[in-house]
Amino acid sequence: MARDGTVSSVHVDLPAAVTVVTRFAPSPTGELHLGHAYSARIAWGRAREAGGRFLLRIEDIDIRRSRREFEAAILDDLRWLGLGWDGTVRRQSEHFADYGRALDALDARGLIYPCFCTRADIAAATDAPHGPDGPLYPGTCRPLPREERRARLAAGEEHCLRLDAARAAAEAGPYAFADETHGRIEGRPLLFGDVVLARKDTPTSYHLSVTVDDHLQGVTLVTRGEDLLPSTHVHVLLQRLLGYATPAYAHHRLLTDPAGRRFAKRDRSLALRSLRESGKTADEILALVGGS
């Protein structure tokens, strides 16, 4: 208000226009195949048609299986297809500190615990119910007394870090997420049980690093194969626990070979490299995956 009592200017906080930000997030553990081209084309197309941003993320937390040659080949294949990305490529193995901060935040609230069990220990608990990734963890290490935990950690005993899913579910409350293909989906926080958030061999996990990165990179629309739809229940749970916004999801169908089998990295004939070597053009590949 000006001195004479008139309103000199009106300031309205308009919401910033939402820019569509999508990403393609391959793991550099093999060559890209037609299924990847299909997936990348969708993410690229959704960003381009909205005047948004298409990001490329290299999911190389599995240091033993990831190879720089595969990463270089991924970049080269995408360029060849004409699916250029915006900004720099985020390589997950360079961001362990970011995942560590998220783990610390969960730890401070008592939502994670170290688990010292071996695969054999878990397999021995045969009455454990099954989740999308196999038997659910029976919770053996969840009630370990603080002293015992401390002593075993101090002794350098190998361990992973697991989410206390029941506690997390209670803290997060009921939730749902929207998928373009499948509609509104009620969140199932216990679907993966006490899921691993930091593996024994690497200080994070697929679920944690994807959730943290989508947040830090400002991804607004996650497009990926419907094989990853179950994982979204965990990702949205983590978003709620960590105070992140939940993006929109569009899980797409998976391309299959003529026999109806999912494309896999082992099918060399469907690798973009070999199709290219056999004389296929980028336009022909894009036409094959429905995006010429």
Residues of this chain, 187-226, that bind ligand GLU according to CB under 6 A: 210, 224
Least Å from the CB of residue 25 to ligand GLU:
4
Q: Is 59 in the site for ligand GLU (CB under 6 A)?
A: yes
Candidates 22, 27, 205, 246; binder of ligand GLU (CB under 6 A) is 27
Least Å from the CB of residue 208 to ligand GLU:
12
Distance CA(40)–CA(219), nearest Å, equals 15
Q: Where are the alpha helices (DSSP H) in 188-256?
A: 206-216, 229-242
Number of chain positions touching ligand GLU (CB under 6 A): 7
Residues of this chain, 215-274, that bind ligand GLU according to CB under 6 A: 224, 228
Given the structure tokens 């084309």, which residue do they identify?
41
Distance CA(90)–CA(215), nearest Å, equals 13
Backbone region of residue 257 per phi and psi (left: phi > 0; alpha: psi in -120 to 50; beta: other values): beta
Q: Is 26 in the site for ligand GLU (CB under 6 A)?
A: yes
Helices and strands, counts by H and E, the chain: 10, 12
From the list 55, 22, 49, the residue with the least C-alpha distance to 247 is 22
| Catalytic residue list contains 200 | no
Least Å from the CB of residue 210 to ligand GLU:
5
Catalytic residue among 149, 152, 199, 265: 265
Q: State the catalytic residues.
A: 265
Can you give the binding site for ligand GLU, defined by CB under 6 A?
25-27, 59, 210, 224, 228
